[in-house]
Amino acid sequence: MHPTDRLRPAVAHALWHLVLAGASLAMAFPMLWSLLTSFKGPQDVFSPSPLPWPATLDNYAAVLSSWPVGMLVGNTFIMSAGVAAGQLVIAVLAGFALVVLAPRMRPAVLSACTIALAVPPQAIIIPQFLLTTRLGWQNSELGLIVPQLGTSALAVLLLVEHVAAVPAAQIEAAALQGARPIETLWHVVLPAIRPAILAVGILVFITTWNEYLWPLLIAPRSHDATVQIGLAQFQGEGGTDYGALMAASVLTSLPIVVVYIIASRRIIDSFIKAGLRP
């Protein structure tokens, strides 16, 4: 018998809150503290008091006027949306092929995806870099987006199970009515897996938004850079203005956190369906 079962339920419940509240605080603390600090004036930046009082928006004003936030966010948005769209196209086409058109290929291709997923990016980054520069794609969105389509494996593994869950009868009915495969994909499969596509798309978007090493190598110049590179450089140069630094950090990560919290239910559902159940 577990010890908590002997305690009164109210005590067990309080203990439950204590552990989870403590863990939540520990996990979210650095970002919560960054958020609070970003509203503190220069005299309070290092104050151990959590509440920003008197609160100020000066840090945000300073960042927005001295840091090319709009451009960095724009670059990062184009890269993340491009990679998410590209990976979704690749994964939906592949998922359809592996489930409907050529099911006998499925084990081999999914194994190739799993292996690709396990390859550490640093181990193959030199040839990737050489190829990208030979193609003349340095400092360009092409160079940021296309090589990152190589990590489509996860999107494929997640989406193929969703395609497999579309009732075979619906697909066969479309074929019997003379639909070409592309029409079946468009009119039958796509509507059925739309929630999964959205969830996987958001997951890829967030991962790409946070990517650091590849943009660092391909687009380090400030006007082509992504928010991560900009933030790292900002931190390296003006390391003393912590209020502004925290405001910059919040501006570049908060939107992503909000998107994730809204979408997390769906993302978890897509993991469940992809066979994470033992």
Cα–Cα distance measured from residue 251 to residue 231, given in angstroms and rounded to the nearest whole number = 10
138 touching other proteins, by CB under 8 A? no
Residues 69-98 that bind other proteins (CB under 8 A): 89-91, 93-94, 96-98
Q: How many residues does the chain have?
A: 278
Residues 172-231 that bind other proteins (CB under 8 A): 172, 175, 181, 184, 206, 209-210, 212-213, 216-217, 227-228, 231
Closer to other proteins at the Cβ: 191 or 278? 278
271 touching other proteins, by CB under 8 A? yes
- Minimum CB distance to other proteins, residue 79 (Å): 13
In the stretch 14-43, what mask flags binding to other proteins with x, by CB under 8 A?
--xx-xxx-xxxxxx-xx-xx--x------
| Tokens 């499969």 -> residue | 189
User: Residues 14, 46, 183, 187: which binds other proteins (CB under 8 A)?
Assistant: 46
- Minimum CB distance to other proteins, residue 225 (Å): 12
- Give the count of residues interacting with other proteins (CB under 8 A): 99
- Minimum CB distance to other proteins, residue 61 (Å): 19
User: Residues 51, 57, 131, 165: which binds other proteins (CB under 8 A)?
Assistant: 131
* Contact between 41 and 60 (Cβ < 8 Å): no
| Tokens 């193959």 -> residue | 124
* Contact between 134 and 146 (Cβ < 8 Å): no
Residue 55, classed as helix, strand or coil, is strand
Residue 249: CB atoms within 10 Å: 22
Q: Which of 228, 244, 250, 270 lies closest to 77 in space, CA to CA?
A: 228
* Contact between 34 and 243 (Cβ < 8 Å): no
User: Residues 68, 141, 142, 150: which binds other proteins (CB under 8 A)?
Assistant: 150
110 touching other proteins, by CB under 8 A? no
Give the interface segment with other proteins, choosing from 1-9, 56-64, 65-73, 192-200 (CB under 8 A).
1-9
* Contact between 69 and 75 (Cβ < 8 Å): no
Cα–Cα distance measured from residue 87 to residue 240, given in angstroms and rounded to the nearest whole number = 40
DSSP class of 225: -
User: Residues 8, 43, 123, 134: which binds other proteins (CB under 8 A)?
Assistant: 123
User: Residues 75, 143, 152, 219: which binds other proteins (CB under 8 A)?
Assistant: 152
- Minimum CB distance to other proteins, residue 54 (Å): 20
Cα–Cα distance measured from residue 198 to residue 88, given in angstroms and rounded to the nearest whole number = 9
Contacts with 256 (C-beta within 8 Å, 6 or more apart), sequence order: 206, 209, 210
Give the interface segment with other proteins, choosing from 60-68, 77-85, 105-113, 137-145 (CB under 8 A).
105-113
Identify residue 58 by its one-letter amino acid code.
D
- Minimum CB distance to other proteins, residue 149 (Å): 5
Q: Which of 181, 204, 208, 170 lies closest to 95 in space, CA to CA?
A: 181
- Minimum CB distance to other proteins, residue 202 (Å): 10
165 touching other proteins, by CB under 8 A? no
